[in-house]
Amino acid sequence: MGQLSLLDGADCGFVHLAYGVAVEGAQQVVSLREVATVSRSYAPHPGATLTHDVNNELGPSTTWRLDRLIASNGVNDQYSLVQL
């Protein structure tokens, strides 16, 4: 389901974070990354700042940078994350 979040300071609804996801990169190297699922209706893009859990339901909110688009189904985009 996810937690209420902000994308570049604007409301972007509920965003799901998954930890330790195997992501294939260059040269077919697999690494474990954190991944966010964001609705495409909020126009997510690499470099955008994501503030997750703005209501502090899981503890203090965390801030991330959307790093690389890794999957899209036309409704939601999944991005690998870098914690700020």
pLDDT digits (tens, 9 = 90+) for 27-55: 788 889 999 999 999 999 999 999 999 88
Question: Residue 49 corresponds to which tokens in the numbers above?
Answer: 């700042």
Q: Find the domain containing 43 and state its range.
A: 3-83
Would you state the pLDDT for residue 52? 94
| 71 backbone dihedrals φ, ψ, rounded to 5° | -165, 150
Question: Residue 47 corresponds to which tokens in the numbers above?
Answer: 């470099």
pTM recorded for the entire structure: 0.90
Res. 21: pLDDT tops 90: yes
54-79 pLDDT per residue, tens: 888 888 889 999 999 999 999 999 99
* pLDDT interval class at 10 (50, 70, 90): very high
Per the structure, the count of domains in the chain is 1
- State the burial class of residue 36 (Cβ atoms within 10 Å of its Cβ: 0-12, 13-18, 19+): buried
Res. 17: pLDDT tops 90: yes
